[in-house]
Every structure is written in C-alpha cells, then in structure tokens.
Amino acid sequence: MPTSGSSTGRARRLGSLRLRLAAWNALAVAATALVTLAVLRQGVMWALLHEADKVLAEDISEIELALRDTPRGEFDSVLGELERKAAGHQHHGWFVELRDSAGRILWASRATSAAEPGDDRSVVREIAANPHGVASVLVGEELRLLRSEVARIDRLALLTGGLMLLGAPLGAWLLAGRATTAIGDITRTARRLRPDHLDERLPVRGTGDELDRLASTINGLLDRIAVVLDHRRDVLANAAHELRTPLAAIRSCVEVALNSDRSAAEYRELLDDVIDQCGSLQILLNQLLLISETENERLKTQVEPVDFAALVVKSAAMFQGVAESRGVSLDVEGTAPATVAGQREHLWQVVNNLLDNAIKYTPEGGRIRIVLTSDKAAGQAELIVEDTGVGIASVDLPHVFDRFFRADRARTRGAAVGSGLGLSICQSVVAAHGGDIRCESQPGHGTRMIVRLPLVAAHSESGLIAAAGA
C-alpha cells in the first residue's frame, strides 16, 4: 500500500518545473514537426503537379507543331507517332485526345485514361488552324506514379516524425535539466541559509538571464537582511552594556546600605542615588521603546495636527534657563506658522534632543540659534538648530545618527555623556513623519541640524482635526 510520503514525492515530481518544461518543449517540438511535415508534403505535391502540368503543356505544343507541319494526306503518320508515344508512356498512363471545333473526339489514343475521375491530370488547349481539322488537344496522365512518390514521402515523413516524437521528450528533458540546474543550485543554497549564518550567497552564473537577475536580487535581499541582523545584534549588545552600568550602580548602593548600620540621612542619600539610576534606566528603556515603535511604523497609526512653531517656542523657553546657567546664548530668530501631522510628544522629543545636544556641546560664551521657516510652495517646514560648539569631526559625521554612537571623548570632555540614542531617535521619528534630518558640522566651528517635515494642507488639516476629535 503506498504511503503518503511516496504519493507526495510522486506529486512533487509530476509537478516539478523540469517536468513541465520538458512536456511543453516536447509538445512544441512535436507540433512543429507535424506542421512542418504536413506543409512539406503539400509543397512536394504541389511541385509535382506543377511539373506534370508543365510537361503536358510541352506535349501539346509538340503535337500542335506536328499537326501544323504535316500535310493533309499524312495525318495517319501523326496518329501513328502519337500511338507509339502513348505505348511508350503506358506506365505513366499517358493519353491524348484530338477534337474538332464542335468538341467531338476525332481520335483518342488506346491508352486513354480509364482511371476514376480525379485520379488523372490533364491539360486541354485550343491549337492553331491545321490541315487536319483538329481544333483542340487534350493530353493527360494518371496520377498513380505521382501518388506513389507522395506515398514514399509520406513514409519518410512518418519515419522522421516518429523519430522526432521519440527523441523530443528525451531532448526536452535534457534541455529542461540544463535550464533548471541554476534553480536547483539556488534551492540548495537557500536551504543551507540560517538566520545566524547568512554569509553564503546564491550562485550567479554571469549569463545575465532571468535566473541570474533573480539570484542577484535575492543576494541583495540577503545582504540587507544580514545588515539588519548585525545591526540588531549590535543594538542588543550596546543596550545590554548601557543597562549594566545603572544596574551595577543600583546594586552597589544596595550593598553599601546593607553592609552596616547607617543614619537616616545616609540611607536617604543612597536611596536618592538608586532613584537617579532608576531614572536613567527608565529613560534608556523609553528611548529603546520609541525606536521600536518607529521601526514598526506605529507612529503612523495615530496622527494629529501639531502646531510645530508653538512646540519649538515652548521647547526653547524650557531650555532657556539651562542655557543661561551654562553661559550659552539661546535665541529664537524666527518661527513661521507651521502645522504638521504627527504625534506631538514624539516631535517634542525631537526638538528637545536637538536643543539638549546643542547646549551640551557648546562651551561657555557660545551661541545657539533656532530658525523655523515654512515653505508652502514646497509643502515643507524647516527647523534649523545651529550652535557655535566644538563641532563634529568629519570621520564621525556619517555616524552621528547610528544607535549608541558617541563621538570622540575629546569632544565630550566636560559634558555629560548621553546614551548615544538621541540623534538616532530624532532620525527615526522624523522619518516616520515623512521628513528628513541632516547634520552639517565643522570641528571648532559648530554644528547645524536641519529638520524638514511635510506641512499639512489647509483641506487636510480640517480632516485631521475632525479625526482627532472623533
């Protein structure tokens, strides 16, 4: 009794691409062969008939010439010559008839065709006046020899067609095998791929055909997947490292508190340290959660019209005191009205991160400039946060938006070192809102952060407000 596995294997073989290609190729070859042989047979038949008509027409011309050149009294000699010719071509079934102007038969060869109608070929033609009163001549021959020639061709065609029908499936199977070899290589390589081992790539033969393009496309996809997985591994490793520091500090504080009896003030101080470290943990976890939300496009599910100008002014006012305490000038030079669609708290965090970085890396006596413009023709709002701080080295500039990236320690000397997630969060949030963020910087001359966000059109804004209030 056949098992389900064997039936599945048979079904897989029957449904294989190679078998289907072989079947289609064999059918195409067979159909082409049959049509070609049929056309060839018909062409040969037409050529033979055409040649027979040509020969018969030449015979009539010869008879016409003989009748015209033979005197009246020698008509019997012409007839005798025709009888001899009819006897000599008896195997062809050759025959001739001489008719007068009324269509009556004046003379017919003894080999006049006795074949069934349609089994002979004849040509009749009126001839020039002659001394014997013959007005037209009919010359013909039976088609048995012609049909025997065609029958020979038919047998040859059947033999050739049979050989082609026998060889076509085998040839088609071999050709399909060559065509699907690359697919087999791709399948075997793909089966060996593992999420933790994506170094191997699909073979590209260099032919430039569809299979090569498919393999190249899949290899490109594997490259991108490998980059994402490597990036996630780096993020996890960096996140674990960042979590280790506050956890170690919390453990240290608790161990110190348990080592010996202490006063209430000392316990309070240790607990304050624990609270500070818990706050650092909470900030880091919130940042990681926000990055996860932007990657999963959750920010796009809940949007509302946001007065971006008011948000920028509010954030600048909040950081004004911090800037003054560090001896840094914070100026809002222009805020054009700008309404964008998004989530207020996330856009608020973007502006706060930019201002926090600008203050953190601008030395005493420096200046921070904030400019917000609105280009309604382009449908974009542009926020510029420019400082006169230490700037960013050209080697670090391409990596400022990488997660957990920190510039050279010389730049951060004297400033609180962050988690390295701030600008990465800014980029993720801005991208989720359909905008872009760019960093321009020169060491020793400061940094300019440029954020562009799409504006909400007037008709779209009313719809967003209605949706937000629903």
Would you state the structure tokens that stand for residue 295, as one six-digit string? 């990657």
Kindly report, residue by residue over 140-161, the tens digit of the pLDDT: 888 877 888 888 888 888 888 7
Domain that holds residue 239: 210-295
Q: Which amino acid is at 37?
A: L
Would you state the structure tokens that stand for residue 322, as one six-digit string? 């911090």
Number of structural domains, the chain? 3
Would you state the structure tokens that stand for residue 54, as one six-digit string? 């040509």
The stretch 108-115 carries a mean pLDDT of 60
Q: Which one has a higher pLDDT value, 193 or 324? A: 324
Would you state the structure tokens that stand for residue 411, as one six-digit string? 């730049």
Which of 78-87, 197-206, 409-418 has the lowest average pLDDT?
Answer: 409-418
pLDDT at 391: 86
The band of 1, judged by pLDDT with boundaries at 50, 70 and 90, is: very low
Residues 337 and 416 in one domain: yes
Residues 307 and 399 in one domain: yes
Would you state the structure tokens that stand for residue 107, as one six-digit string? 């003379």
User: Of the candidates 295, 232, 280, which has an alpha carbon nearest to the alpha carbon of residue 427?
Assistant: 295
CATH number at residue 74: 3.30.450
Phi then psi for residue 370, to 5 deg, are: -120, 125
Residues 287 and 345 in one domain: no
At which of 239, 268, 295 does a domain end?
Answer: 295
**Residues pairing with 334 in the sheet:** 371
At which of 148, 165, 193 does a domain end?
Answer: 148
Q: Where is 355: in which H helix or E strand?
A: helix 344-360
Residues 386 and 412 in one domain: yes
Burial class (CB in 10 A: 0-12, 13-18, 19+), 128: exposed
**Does the structure show a pLDDT above 60 at 2?**
no
**Rg, Å, the chain Cα set:** 49
**Does the structure show a pLDDT above 80 at 132?**
no
Is residue 190 assigned to a domain? no
CA 138, CA 297: separation in Å to the nearest integer?
94
Residues 26 and 64 in one domain: yes
Q: Which one has a higher pLDDT value, 277 or 296? A: 277
CA 356, CA 334: separation in Å to the nearest integer?
19
Is residue 170 assigned to a domain? no
Residues 66 and 143 in one domain: yes
Q: Are 288 and 239 in contact (CB under 8 A)?
A: yes
CA 201, CA 216: separation in Å to the nearest integer?
9
Kindly report, residue by residue over 262-273, the tens digit of the pLDDT: 788 888 888 888
Which of 1-5, 31-35, 419-423 has the lowest average pLDDT?
Answer: 1-5
For the chain, the maximum distance between any two Cα atoms, rounded to a whole number of angstroms, is 164
The band of 219, judged by pLDDT with boundaries at 50, 70 and 90, is: confident
Neighbours of 156 (CB within 10 A): 13
Burial class (CB in 10 A: 0-12, 13-18, 19+), 366: buried
Would you state the structure tokens that stand for residue 249, as one six-digit string? 């500090």
Is residue 271 assigned to a domain? yes
At which of 241, 270, 295 does a domain end?
Answer: 295
Residues 454 and 342 in one domain: yes
Residues 307 and 366 in one domain: yes
The band of 14, judged by pLDDT with boundaries at 50, 70 and 90, is: very low
Q: Where is 371: in which H helix or E strand?
A: strand 367-375
Residues 231 and 341 in one domain: no
Which range scores top for mean pLDDT: 11-20, 170-179, 266-275?
Answer: 266-275
Region at 446 (left for phi over 0; alpha for psi -120 to 50; beta for the rest): left
Residues 309 and 440 in one domain: yes
Helix, coil or strand: residue 284: helix
Residue 337 per-residue DSSP state:
-
Which of 45-59, 114-128, 384-398, 454-468 has the lowest average pLDDT?
Answer: 454-468
Report in angstroms the alpha-carbon separations of 251 from 266, 274, 279. 16, 9, 15
Phi then psi for residue 306, to 5 deg, are: -120, 125
Taking each helix axis from N to C end, the angle separating 264-295 and 210-259, rounded to the nearest 10 degrees, works out to: 170
Residues 338 and 248 in one domain: no
Is residue 445 assigned to a domain? yes
CA 202, CA 301: separation in Å to the nearest integer?
38
Is residue 264 assigned to a domain? yes
CA 94, CA 88: separation in Å to the nearest integer?
9
How many percent of the chain have pLDDT more than 90?
A: 11
Is residue 197 assigned to a domain? no
The stretch 36-64 carries a mean pLDDT of 85
**Residues pairing with 139 in the sheet:** 96, 123
Is residue 172 assigned to a domain? no
CATH number at residue 343: 3.30.565.10
Residues 38 and 135 in one domain: yes
Is residue 174 assigned to a domain? no
CATH number at residue 261: 1.10.287.130
pLDDT at 80: 83
The stretch 359-384 carries a mean pLDDT of 91
CA 449, CA 373: separation in Å to the nearest integer?
14
Which range scores top for mean pLDDT: 228-237, 240-249, 301-310, 410-419?
Answer: 301-310
